[in-house]
Structure 1
Amino acid sequence: MPSLVVHYAFVGLLAATLLGAAFDKRSLLLSLLVVTFPDVDAFIGLYFQVGHRAATTNLVIPAAMALVIAADLYVREESYIRGRWGAYGVRVAWFSVVVYAVGHVVLDLITGGANLFWPLYDQFYQLRGHLELSTQRGIVQTFVDLPEPPSTGGASGGGGSTKQAMGNSSQVQMSTGVDPNPGQTEPANVDRVFPIARSGWELVVLVVGTLATATRLVVGHDLPEE
């Protein structure tokens, strides 16, 4: 699972490329705070069965955020966000939703799994598989099981299914440095591991995202005068 610093680097890269003129130290700091919040469930898991990658690492919270922002911007006669911060606030508000959903939840989804729809539906999912173009088989993907084509004997194919379901919160417990052995008695000499980068792609994201964010803070987005 990605460490917080990998989440930070990835979100910094997103901010540097998507925020445009709204990118500054304030919007970057807010983005880092937003992407940190989902990991609060690592501490929730110390006291409740529904813990890491479930209680706050889900798509329900960013969906609720999006509804609140949309109601303020498009339903209220006078938007609080637009009135207080103008176009800058509108862009940063929507970007915060992207940060929560993509910068943390989706990144966790591809690296160990997340309980995407908790508390509406208690099921962990992991996005894994491959997508390729074959000269013999055409487009091949293994992310989702598609219905089998009808056989020559006339039988119809079965419905599509997914191979990504992992189990509910009573079956799946995610270990963290805060709680290395969830649901078990913690030994006195427990090894608490706080990862930095656990794969090559995480190291690449960490280095490139950090450099891109730092460069954008120093250089900005305006071209120098000739």
Structure 2
Amino acid sequence: MPSSVVHAGFALLLAAGLLKGAYDRPALAVVLFVIVLPEVDSLMGPVMPGAHRTVGHNFVLPAAAGLLLYYDTRLRGTSLLRERFADRGVKIAWVALFAHVFAHIFLDWAHLEGVNALWPLHDEFFRLEGEILLSTADGFVQTFIDIELDPDTGERTVDAGSTGTTESVHVNNPVEPDSPENLVDAEEIDRRFPIAQRGWRLYLILIGVFAVVARRFQSDPPADEA
């Protein structure tokens, strides 16, 4: 699975492009904190089966946070966030939420058993897996969502990459490197803290760091002379 370092590298790349007018070390620190926060759900594994990729890895809580942020900054007469941190704080909050969804949840959605996308409203893991292509023989083809029609009953079934529920899915992590039943009989537990398990993941880390360093050495264009 993508490590927290990979998520952070992607987040740094997004922050470099989105934090216009608010790009500095405190802003980056906020974005990185929000990025690694979902991994806390791995600590809940011993007391809640299937907690990893569930509690902190879903689309329901970010959607709720987005609605709350929109209400506070756009609909309320006085925004608590803007009153406390000005427009800069509002921008950082939106960028952090965007990075959380696209640099963390979406990446994990496409790896291993996916994420428990609709938890706590619905307990089911989904993995984003498939392809989209144009074929000279078959035309437009997509396999991310599989729709089947039973010729006998006419019943339509839709499979969006379901992989199971919290009762059947276990995603290995440093706290629980193997399924709980296997850990009981294990003579030696190998806890691995991944950094970059694929070449593209190392590339993503390096390009994120490069973007931050490059922004540091950029200067503002000279002002136009009257």
TM-score exceeds 0.5: yes
Moved more, 96-105 or 25-34: 96-105
Q: Give deviations 1:10-66, integer Å, cap 9, x for gaps.
A: 000010112222221111100000011100011001221131100111112211211
Indicate conservation of the 8 Å contact 2:45/2:175, yes or no. no
Contact 1:115 1:123 in 2 (8 A): yes
What amino acid sits opposite 2:132 in the alignment? L
Aligned residue in 1 for 2:143: 142
Corresponding residue of 1:109:
109
Output the CA distance in 2 between the equivalents of 1:208 and 1:222.
22
- Cα distance per residue 1:83-113 (max 9 Å; x no partner): 2222211211111221221121111001121
* Unmatched segments (≥5 aa) in structure 2: none
Q: Given that residues 133 and 140 in structure 2 are in contact (C-alpha distance below 8 angstroms), is that contact kept between their aligned partners in structure 1? A: yes
Q: TM-score, normalised by structure 2?
A: 0.88
Alpha-carbon offset, residue 121 of structure 1: 0.4
Alignment correspondent of 1:159: 156
1:3, 1:51 → 2: CA distance? 17
**How many angstroms does 1:130 deviate by?**
1.1
Within the alignment, does 1:191 sit opposite 2:175 as a pair? no
Give the equivalent residue in structure 1 for 2:93.
Answer: 93
Distance 1:198 1:79, change over 3 A: same
Structure 2 CA distance for aligned equivalents of residues 205 and 225 of structure 1: 35
- One-letter identity of the residue aligned with 2:96: S
Q: CA deviation at 1:190?
A: 1.0
Q: Which deviates the most, 203-212 or 122-131? A: 203-212
Contact 1:45–1:52 (CA<8 Å) still a contact in 2?
Answer: yes
- TM-score under structure 1 normalisation? 0.88
Partner secondary structure for residue 156 of structure 2: coil
Residue 210 (structure 2) aligns with: 211
SS at 2:159's partner residue? Answer: coil
- In the aligned structure 1, how far is the partner of 2:23 from the partner of 2:35? 16
Match of 1:182 in 2: 179
Flag structure 1 segments of 5+ consecutive residues without an equivalent: none
Pairwise mapping of residues 1-226 of structure 1 onto structure 2 (< 5 A)? 1-112=1-112, 113-146=114-147, 159=156, 161-184=158-181, 185=184, 187-216=186-215, 218-220=216-218, 222-223=220-221
